[in-house]
Amino acid sequence: METLSYETIIDAPLQKVWDILWSPETYSVWTQYFGAGSSIMKSDWKVDGKTYFLNDKGDGMVSTIDSLDEPNQIVFKHLGMIENGVEDTQSKEVMEWNGCFEKYFLTDYEGKTKLHAEVQVEKQWRDHMNTGFTKGLIVVKSLAERVNLTSV
Give domain status of residue 152, yes or no. Answer: no
DSSP 84: T
What does the pLDDT look like over 40-80, one tens digit per residue? 899 999 999 999 998 888 888 999 999 999 999 999 999 99
Q: What is the model's pLDDT at position 93?
A: 86
Q: What is the pLDDT of residues 95-106, one digit of tens each?
A: 888 889 999 999
In a domain, 72, yes or no: yes
For residue 18, give its domain range. 2-146
Q: Are 17 and 144 in contact (CB under 8 A)?
A: yes
The reported pTM is 0.89
Domain tally, the chain: 1
CA distances from 30 to 25, 26, 37, 99, 108 (A): 10, 7, 12, 24, 21
Per the model's pLDDT, the better-predicted residue between 32 and 63 turns out to be 63
CATH number at residue 107: 3.30.530.20
Query: Average model confidence (pLDDT) for the chain?
Result: 89
